[in-house]
Amino acid sequence: MAPTPRATDTPPLTWDVFCHVIDNWGDVGVCWRLCRQLAAAGQRVRLWIDDATALDWMAPGARRGTVPGVRVHEWPRQADAPPPALDPGDVLIEGFGCHVPDAWVAALLPPVAHDGRPSVWLNLEYLSAEPWVARSHGLPSPVLSGTLRGRTKWFYFPGFTVDTGGLLREADLAQRQARFDAMAWRARLAPHAGPWVSLFCYEPRALPQLVVQPALHTAHWLVAAGRSAAAWAAQVAAHPAACPPGATVQVLDAVPQCAFDERLWACDLNAVRGEDSLVRALWAARPLLWQLYPQDDDAHHAKLEAFLRWFDGPPDWAAWMRTWNGVPGAETPALTPARLATWREAAAATRARLLAQDDMLTRLLAFVHHRRAAPGDARHAPATGPG
- Does 130 interact with ligand TRH (rule: CB under 6 A)? no
What gap in Å lies between CA 58 and CA 32, rounded to an integer? 9
Residue from 103, 254, 319, 346 binding ligand TRH (CB under 6 A): 254
Pairing, β 220-224 against β 196-199: parallel
Q: Among residues 22 and 348, whose Cβ is nearest to ligand TRH?
A: 22
In angstroms, the CA 188 to CA 185 distance is 5
Q: Is 148 or 210 the residue whose CB approaches ligand TRH more closely?
A: 210
Kind and range of the H or E run holding 155: strand 152-156
| Residue 251 interacts with ligand TRH (CB under 6 A): yes or no | no
Residue 384, classed as helix, strand or coil, is coil
23 binds ligand TRH per the rule CB under 6 A: yes
- The answer to whether residue 159 forms part of the interface with ligand TRH (CB under 6 A) is no
Taking the C-alpha atoms of residue 262 and residue 181, their distance in angstroms, rounded to an integer, is 10
CB of 27 to ligand TRH, least distance (A): 5
Give the C-alpha separation, 254 to 301, whole Å.
Answer: 28
Per CB under 6 A, 63 contacts ligand TRH: no
Is 276 or 358 the residue whose CB approaches ligand TRH more closely? 276
Q: Tell me: does residue 124 bind ligand TRH (CB under 6 A).
A: no
User: Which of 93/381 has CB closer to ligand TRH?
Assistant: 93
At its nearest, how many Å lie between ligand TRH and the CB of residue 261?
8
Segment near ligand TRH (CB under 6 A); pick from 18-26, 114-122, 209-217, 346-354: 18-26
Catalytic status, residue 275:
yes
Closest separation in Å from C-beta 275 to ligand TRH: 4
Interface residue with ligand TRH among 197, 224, 318, 335 (CB under 6 A) is: 224
| Minimum CB–partner distance for residue 109 and ligand TRH (Å) | 25
For residues 60 and 32, is the Cβ–Cβ distance under 8 A?
no
| Terminal-residue alpha carbon distance, the chain | 15
Q: How far apart are CA 240 and CA 12, in angstroms?
A: 57
Please, are residues 377 and 309 in contact by the beta-carbon 8 Å criterion?
no
Q: Which of residues 273, 351, 370, 371 is near ligand TRH by CB under 6 A?
A: 273
Tell me: does residue 27 bind ligand TRH (CB under 6 A): yes
Stretch of 21-29, 115-123, 179-187, 352-360 lying at the interface with ligand TRH (CB under 6 A): 21-29
Determine the size of the site formed for ligand TRH (CB under 6 A).
Answer: 21
3-state secondary structure of 257: helix
Instruction: Indicate the angle between helix axes 276-284 and 26-40, nearest 10 degrees.
Output: 60
Task: Provide the minimum distance between the beta carbon of 321 and ligand TRH in the complex, in angstroms, as a whole number.
Answer: 16
According to CB under 6 A, which one of 155, 260, 265, 290 is a site residue for ligand TRH?
260
> For residues 102-140, b (16+ Cβ closer than 10 Å) or e, as one string?
eebbebbbeeebeeeebbbbbbbbbbbbbeebbebbbee
331 in catalytic set: no
Q: Which of 278, 283, 184, 269 is nearest to 221 (CA)?
A: 269
- Which residues form the catalytic set? 27, 275
**Footprint of ligand TRH on this chain (CB under 6 A)?**
22-27, 29, 58, 126, 200, 224, 254-255, 257, 260, 273-277, 293
